[in-house]
Chains A and B, each alone.
Chain A
Amino acid sequence: MFFRMIRGMLTRQTGKMAMIAFTIALGASLATAMLSVMFDVSDKVNQELKTYGANITVVPKEASVLSNLYEVEGGGDVSNVYLKEDELGKIKTIFWAFNIVDFAPMIDVQASVNGTPVTAVGSWFNHHLDLPTGEQLDAGITSLRSWWELVDGRWLDESQTGDDQRVMLGHTLAEKLGARVGDTVELSADSGASADAGSGANADAGSGANAAAGSNPSSGSFEVVGIFDAGGDEDKQIFAPLDLVQSLSGTDGKLSSIEVSAITTPDNEISRQAAKDPSKLTIAQYETWYCTAYVSSICYQIQEVITDSVASPVRQVAESEGAILDKTQLLMVLITILALLGSALGISNLVTASVMERGQEIGLFKAIGATDRAISGLVLTEIIVVAIVGGLVGFAAGIGFAQIIGQSVFNSSIALKPMVVPLVVVLVIVVTLLGSISAIRTALRLDPVEVLHDR
């Protein structure tokens, strides 16, 4: 009988019920979209922010001391001080390993190309890593410096056969040399010399010997596969695979620096204090700091695994990443709350209007013995049925909205996190119940005498 009454009520006010379902669907769709984007936004924003480069730089301790003394960035001015390449994988074993989304080792050496003194940089471009944790990662400057534009050719790619003996030129250097993609350039380096350490003199320049695997030569001829525009000093440099530059300069297994891109939490008092000296924290503060993805805590953990290193944040980027993430998520939460409040108000008005329209019917139920609980149950069940329909439609639409947002804002799809489903269900229930309060109060206040006698 109860369900016959519900069915009858729903079918009699199809238009109004459709409006209520639409209002719920609207709220549910916005909540689904915003929550989906919110839970996925850290990855997306991070991908966006990666275009601003690494947010942590790791350099040898000695180089860091000198660079701090002379306020020089990077610490690359010190020769014969290197990080160990075989420790690179350890970066992905720290407590916040999952927050490290990309990294690239660097070796800078003073070299000459076709007799012109340049800085040769060896690095990873699209280096595939199988980590001890079972995780796989494609790291390198192709993704880490995604704002670099290819003027001609293509990126170096470690997975392509022969790319270990090819190079890329900054466009300023390419113009100076008159080199094009497909040309062969002669690269020679000071054995064991780091960039800027020497005066630019190069004993082996122009020797013309081809690089041969395993022979550790200091010069060779290499094909240019790409010319890039970095918008900085890199435009005057030559970039080559890490192994190639190490081999030419006799720095096998050595690195000048490591650039790391990590997702971080905005700094607070504890993290700022810890950045100066973690030993001054209390045990509780230390635990909190160590287990929070502050940039200083991630730096500290990198230093723990890379021997004689100093990891320091590139402040501006690190802070803006955390701040932008927080603000974006706050915006999403606010939009969700406002959308749901709007829905609750809409539901409240529509359901109250529906109850008032059926005043005589509800008055009759009361007159023949319906209790307050029975009336509330009737109104609530009806709204819940409508809410289920509206909620399902809204959820499906919300997934669609999330994809539209993902494609238009981040140029990629938004992954639906499982947590969104129960959250939306709970929110729809809460909003529906909130929206029903006024209608139920109206229904309970209806006086059967008045409605049955048309007063």
Chain B
Amino acid sequence: MKNVSKIYGELRALDNVNLTIEQGEWVAIMGPSGSGKSTAMNIIGCMDKPTSGEVLLDGQDIAKLGRRELTEIRRDKIGLIFQQFHLISYLTAVENVMVAQYYHSLPDEAEALEALERVGLADRAKHLPSQLSGGEQQRVCVARALINHPEIILADEPTGNLDEQNERIVLDLFRQLHSEGTTLVVVTHDAEVGASAERIITLEYGRVTSDNADTKFGKGNG
């Protein structure tokens, strides 16, 4: 991100932010409410465009792209994990994973089942979201995010609605993805989740106030 600002009326949600995230990095974006974390995530996730500045993804300035191109980037390169899971209530766990395949290429139930197996939910594949616990729903969300082998996984408060045990399972999954070279950008309030990352960027009032780019304590830490 080069000199990126996002302005809503009087509010500068991001104020001249400069930030570089390398491929394969696990970055936690932290900060209090209203600091601009979600805005940053939306821009990195190609769901929003900055008011000014450049956002280069693989060398391509997404600030200059149209809606269609942004949709294509989201589909091909980005996996999204939400705090509220956002699973489709009338589709089973495996079908929720297949939805992402459907909009990416072709649905493949065997592959979707593999993704669920990877998050430890093979036996819950035919259950509806209402029949799953919060942790299980979040793991379905993770499976959906990684089914298309994205280059970046963006997670917005991924453990915000989870108990400790499920939080640990999700973080283990992140570690696994990180070890496979997937770039992880996690927006969180949770210090433990932040501490799991190899790099913590702190935002306040839309500005980067700290960036411990050299901190590596997250790697391999249980």
Which chain A residues have a beta carbon within 8 Å of chain B's beta carbons? 1-2, 4-5, 8-9, 11-12, 360-361, 363-372, 374, 448-449, 452-454
> Contacts A367-B80, A368-B80, A370-B71 hold; do A1 and B88 have CB atoms under 8 A apart?
no
By the criterion CB–CB under 8 Å, are B82 and A371 in contact? no
> Contacts A449-B42, A449-B47 hold; do A370 and B103 have CB atoms under 8 A apart?
yes
How far is the CB of A362 from the nearest CB of chain B, in Å?
Answer: 11
In order of increasing CB-CB distance, the 9 nearest A-B pairs are A369-B75, A8-B90, A369-B103, A1-B107, A1-B102, A364-B86, A449-B47, A370-B103, A12-B90
For A368, the chain B residues whose CB sits under 8 A away are 74-75, 80, 99-100, 103-104, 144
How far is the CB of A229 from the nearest CB of chain B, in Å?
Answer: 72
For A5, the chain B residues whose CB sits under 8 A away are 88, 91, 99, 102
Q: How far is the CA of A9 from the CA of B102 in the complex (A)?
A: 16
How extensive is the interface on chain B, given as a class?
Answer: 20 to 34
Q: How far is the CA of A452 from the CA of B83 in the complex (A)?
A: 10
Q: Is B95 an interface residue (CB 8 A)?
A: yes
By the criterion CB–CB under 8 Å, are A2 and B102 in contact? yes
How far is the CB of B65 from the nearest CB of chain A, in Å?
Answer: 14
Which chain B residues have a beta carbon within 8 Å of chain A's beta carbons? 38, 42, 45, 47-48, 67-68, 71-72, 74-76, 80, 82, 84, 86, 88-91, 95, 98-104, 107, 144
Q: How far is the CA of A1 from the CA of B75 in the complex (A)?
A: 17
In this complex, what residue of A is CB-closest to B47? Answer: A449
For B102, the chain A residues whose CB sits under 8 A away are 1-2, 5
> Contacts A368-B80, A368-B100, A368-B103 hold; do A361 and B88 have CB atoms under 8 A apart?
yes
Q: A11 is contacted by which of B86, B90, B107 (Cβ under 8 Å)?
A: B90
For B47, the chain A residues whose CB sits under 8 A away are 367, 448-449
For B104, the chain A residues whose CB sits under 8 A away are 368-369
Q: How far is the CA of A366 from the CA of B42 in the complex (A)?
A: 13
In this complex, what residue of B is CB-closest to A454? Answer: B84
Q: How far is the CA of A380 from the CA of B99 in the complex (A)?
A: 18
Q: B74 is contacted by which of A361, A369, A454 (Cβ under 8 Å)?
A: A369
In this complex, what residue of A is CB-closest to B144? Answer: A368
Query: Would you give 12 A-B contacts (Cβ < 8 Å), ordered by A?
Result: A1-B95, A2-B102, A5-B99, A8-B88, A11-B90, A360-B86, A367-B74, A368-B144, A369-B71, A369-B74, A369-B75, A448-B47
Q: How far is the CA of A361 from the CA of B103 in the complex (A)?
A: 14
By the criterion CB–CB under 8 Å, are A365 and B103 in contact? yes
Number of A-B pairs, beta carbon distance below 8 Å:
65
Q: How far is the CA of A367 from the CA of B74 in the complex (A)?
A: 7
> Contacts A1-B107, A2-B102, A364-B86 hold; do A8 and B71 have CB atoms under 8 A apart?
no
How far is the CB of B24 from the nearest CB of chain A, in Å?
Answer: 23
For B75, the chain A residues whose CB sits under 8 A away are 368-369
* Among B48, B88, B98: residue with most chain A CB under 10 A: B88
In this complex, what residue of B is CB-closest to A360? Answer: B86
How far is the CB of B102 from the nearest CB of chain A, in Å?
Answer: 4
Chain A at the B interface: SS class = helix
In this complex, what residue of A is CB-closest to B147? Answer: A368
Given contacts A1-B101, A5-B99, 15 further A-B pairs with CB under 8 A are A1-B95, A1-B107, A2-B102, A5-B91, A11-B90, A360-B86, A363-B86, A367-B47, A369-B76, A369-B103, A371-B68, A371-B71, A372-B68, A452-B86, A454-B84
Q: How far is the CA of A1 from the CA of B90 in the complex (A)?
A: 12
Q: How far is the CA of A107 from the CA of B76 in the complex (A)?
A: 93
Q: A4 is contacted by which of B82, B91, B144 (Cβ under 8 Å)?
A: B91
For B80, the chain A residues whose CB sits under 8 A away are 367-368
Q: How far is the CA of A368 from the CA of B101 in the complex (A)?
A: 9
For A374, the chain B residues whose CB sits under 8 A away are 103
For A1, the chain B residues whose CB sits under 8 A away are 95, 98-99, 101-102, 107
Q: How far is the CA of A449 from the CA of B104 in the complex (A)?
A: 20
For A372, the chain B residues whose CB sits under 8 A away are 67-68
Q: How far is the CA of A370 from the CA of B100 in the complex (A)?
A: 9
For A8, the chain B residues whose CB sits under 8 A away are 88, 90-91
Q: B72 is contacted by which of A2, A9, A12, A369 (Cβ under 8 Å)?
A: A369
For A366, the chain B residues whose CB sits under 8 A away are 71
How far is the CB of B38 from the nearest CB of chain A, in Å?
Answer: 6
In this complex, what residue of A is CB-closest to B98? Answer: A1
For B98, the chain A residues whose CB sits under 8 A away are 1
For B100, the chain A residues whose CB sits under 8 A away are 368-369
By the criterion CB–CB under 8 Å, are A12 and B99 in contact? no
For A452, the chain B residues whose CB sits under 8 A away are 82, 84, 86
Q: How far is the CA of A162 from the CA of B84 in the complex (A)?
A: 94
For A361, the chain B residues whose CB sits under 8 A away are 88
How far is the CB of B103 from the nearest CB of chain A, in Å?
Answer: 4
* Among A1, A9, A366: residue with most chain B CB under 10 A: A1
For B88, the chain A residues whose CB sits under 8 A away are 5, 8, 361, 364
Q: How far is the CA of A364 from the CA of B74 in the complex (A)?
A: 11
Q: How far is the CA of A11 from the CA of B95 in the complex (A)?
A: 16
For B48, the chain A residues whose CB sits under 8 A away are 449
For A2, the chain B residues whose CB sits under 8 A away are 102
By the criterion CB–CB under 8 Å, are B99 and A365 in contact? yes
* Among A5, A12, A363, A372: residue with most chain B CB under 10 A: A5
In this complex, what residue of A is CB-closest to B46? Answer: A367
Q: How far is the CA of A449 from the CA of B48 in the complex (A)?
A: 7
Q: How far is the CA of A156 from the CA of B126 in the complex (A)?
A: 81
How far is the CB of B98 from the nearest CB of chain A, in Å?
Answer: 5
Q: How far is the CA of A367 from the CA of B84 in the complex (A)?
A: 14
For A453, the chain B residues whose CB sits under 8 A away are 38
